[in-house]
Structure 1
Amino acid sequence: MIYTKTGDKGTTSLLDGTRVRKNSPRVESYGTIDELNSLLGFGKHFIHNKDIVEKIHTVQKELFSVASALADPQGKTYTSPLGEAEIVRFETWIDEYVKLMNPAPKFIVPGSCQASGILHVARTVCRRAERVMTALDELEPVNPILAKYINRLSDVLYTFARYLEENQELVNT
Structure 2
Amino acid sequence: MVVLNKIYTKTGDAGETALGNGSRVAKYAMRVNAYGTVDETNATVGLARLHASGELDAQLAMIQNDLFDLGADLCRPDMEKDAESEYPVLRMTDGQVSRLETEIDAMTKLVEPLRSFILPGGSALAAQLHLCRTVSRRAERLAVELASLESVNPAAVTYLNRLSDWFFQAGRIANNNGRDDVLWVPGANR
Do they superpose with TM above 0.5? Answer: yes
Task: State the partner residue of 1:62.
Answer: 66
Letter in 1 for 2:97: I
Q: Which moved more, 1:79-88 or 1:62-71?
A: 79-88
Task: State the partner residue of 2:147.
Answer: 137
With structure 2 as the length reference, what TM-score do the two structures score? 0.83
User: In the TM superposition, what is the alpha-carbon distance from 1:81 to its structure 2 partner?
Assistant: 4.8
The count of residues paired between Structure 1 and Structure 2 equals 168
Q: For the structure 1 residues 163 and 59, does the alpha-carbon distance in structure 2 shift closer, same or farther, using more than 3 Å as the test?
A: same
User: In the TM superposition, what is the alpha-carbon distance from 1:47 to its structure 2 partner?
Assistant: 1.9
Identity %: 38
User: In the TM superposition, what is the alpha-carbon distance from 1:126 to its structure 2 partner?
Assistant: 0.4
Q: Which structure 1 residue ranges, 5 or more long, are not aligned?
A: 169-173
Structure 2 counterpart of 1:115, from 89, 113, 125: 125
Task: State the partner residue of 1:6.
Answer: 11
Task: State the partner residue of 1:35.
Answer: 40
Q: SS of the counterpart of 1:46?
A: coil
Structure 1 residue 85 corresponds to structure 2 residue 89: no
Letter in 1 for 2:45: L
Structure 2 counterpart of 1:22, from 22, 27, 42: 27
User: In the TM superposition, what is the alpha-carbon distance from 1:167 to its structure 2 partner?
Assistant: 4.1
Q: SS of the counterpart of 2:116?
A: coil
Q: SS of the counterpart of 2:25?
A: strand
Structure 2 counterpart of 1:160, from 149, 156, 170: 170
With structure 1 as the length reference, what TM-score do the two structures score? 0.91
Alpha-carbon RMSD: 1.6
Task: State the partner residue of 2:181.
Answer: none
CA distance in 2, matches of 1:110, 1:18: 40
CA distance in 2, matches of 1:96, 1:36: 23
Q: Which moved more, 1:80-89 or 1:20-29?
A: 80-89
Task: State the partner residue of 1:171.
Answer: none
Displaced runs of 4+ in structure 1, greater than 4 A? none
Q: Confirm or deny: 8 A CA contact 2:91 2:153 kept in the other structure.
A: no
Q: Confirm or deny: 8 A CA contact 2:72 2:91 kept in the other structure.
A: no
- Give the structure with higher Rg (CA): 2
Write out per-residue CA displacement over residues 73-122 of structure 1, whole angstroms, 9 at most, x where no aligned residue. Answer: 11335633532222221111111111111111220111111100000000
CA distance in 2, matches of 1:59, 1:106: 28
Q: SS of the counterpart of 1:166?
A: coil
Write out per-residue CA displacement over residues 8-45 of structure 1, whole angstroms, 9 at most, x where no aligned residue. Answer: 11100111111100000000000000000111012100
